[in-house]
Amino acid sequence: MNHSETLLQTPLASAHKALGAKLVPFAGWEMPLDYGSILGESRATRESAGLFDVGHMARIWFRGPNVAAELDHALGGCITDQPIGKARYTMILAEDGGILDDLITYRTGQDEFFMVVNAANRHRDLEILRSRITESTIDDITEDGGCILALQGPDSVRILQELCDDADLSPGFLDLAWPGSPFGQLFVARTGYTGELGYEIFTTAEQSNAVWQRILELGASPVGLGARDVLRLEAAMPLYGHEIHEDITPFDAGLRFAVRGWKTREFIGSSALQAAAPSSKKLIGFTTDKRVPRDGYPVLANGIEVGQICSGAFSATLQKPIATAYVPLDCDGPFTVSFRGKEMPVDVAVLPFVPHRSRD
């Protein structure tokens, strides 16, 4: 058995192959990196609409009469006041306030929540959550044959309306909806990872391929993980293992909104956050006209290393390399990045690199 045969596949594996996708191992799954052009797919999403298979992301249900209170204690974000029919970005914290993972909770009922977490952290997150949540039921449905289709870009609302044959369908930012369609009822959230107006459509095993194909027929371009990373970096959205990880707190990452109520609520990590001194670092953006600064490259100020690159990519929108890094709060440069010992000047850029349109 070769390595590819050990990988999990989403329901769209055959569809990706038919489209000529470059398939690569990713977090235990075989996923499309691109369909021929990472930069072209990035531009298509910004200018019209891109369609992503993100069925590798872990999908988990939580149910029980005390589920909101249990999740509120287990997670950094306030859950008890999350309205039914709304999504909320939050995170799992360690006792010391470090970020173990970021995620989205979806409140689908009074005693029912849905959650999507990063594929690479699925098993660890489940172990942590099961240790913190003892009264409510936890049901991991990641491998049930269903999928998540991310439809992103300015044309996404038009495509969603035509998909569901409902010209009035237009969920607000972070809203959930259960529209009917020729493929049966769909579960839709106005969320995404590109900074664009867009939706994530949760499909059953029976719906996945038909819905994917119809969205492409309506004008969306298939987009792989390569462009997804470029788009999320342009929008300065954090990626676990890069901008956020166990040694970074929500305050370091500028994600205080994800732990709303941290001064008064009791949750795992709250004591550490309440006792923490103000963050001594800041996340900044860089641009350059030459080579792409890659993850882990040293960042220097006046010849002294002050940080490391978190993420770097060539921006299809700006037509130049972009990157992020943490540096000391009182350090304003000028900065250089070391490329195997050779220092290259970089320019500080305002984050996000590309304005968000997700609320438009």
What are the tens digits of pLDDT across the range 82-131? 999 999 999 999 999 999 999 999 999 999 999 999 999 999 999 999 99
Contacts of 247 (CB under 8 A, 6+ apart): 98
Domain, as residue range, for 330: 280-349
Q: Cis peptide leading into 32, omega within 30 of 0?
A: no
CA distances from 165 to 38, 161, 181, 183, 220 (A): 31, 6, 7, 11, 16
CATH at 308: 2.40.30.110
Handedness of CA 244, 248, 250, 254 (dihedral sign): negative
Number of domains in the chain: 2
The answer to whether the beta carbons of residues 32 and 225 sit under 8 Å apart is yes
Last residue of a domain, one of 199, 234, 269: 234
304, 197: one domain: no
Of 201, 216, 234, the one marking the end of a domain is 234
Amino acid, single-letter form, for residue 280: S
Length of the chain in terms of residues written: 360
Domain co-membership, 326 together with 222? no
In this structure, the answer to whether residues 330 and 186 fall within a common structural domain is: no
**Sheet hosting strand 198-203, strand order edge to edge:** 176-177, 187-189, 198-203, 147-152, 50-53, 221-223
Angle, helices 67-74/122-132, rounded to nearest 10 degrees: 120
Alpha-helical runs (H) found in 140-207: 156-164
> Across the strands, what pairs with 116?
59, 104
Task: Identify the helix (H) or strand (E) that includes residue 42.
Answer: helix 38-47
CATH at 151: 3.30.1360.120
Question: Do 40 and 155 have their domain in common?
Answer: yes
Secondary structure letter of residue 153 according to DSSP: S
* pLDDT score recorded for residue 2: 44
Name the domain boundary from 178, 202, 234: 234
pLDDT of residue 5: 59
* Confidence at residue 327, expressed as pLDDT on a 0 to 100 scale: 98
Give domain status of residue 47, yes or no.
yes
Q: Write down the residue that tokens 């788009």 correspond to.
A: 231
Q: Are residues 213 and 332 in the same domain?
A: no
Classify residue 131: in a domain, yes or no: no
Q: With respect to residue 265, please indicate whether it lies within any of the assigned structural domains.
A: no
Same domain assignment for residues 222 and 284: no
Q: State which residues of the chain have pLDDT below 70.
A: 1-5
In this predicted structure, what is the pLDDT of residue 147?
Answer: 98
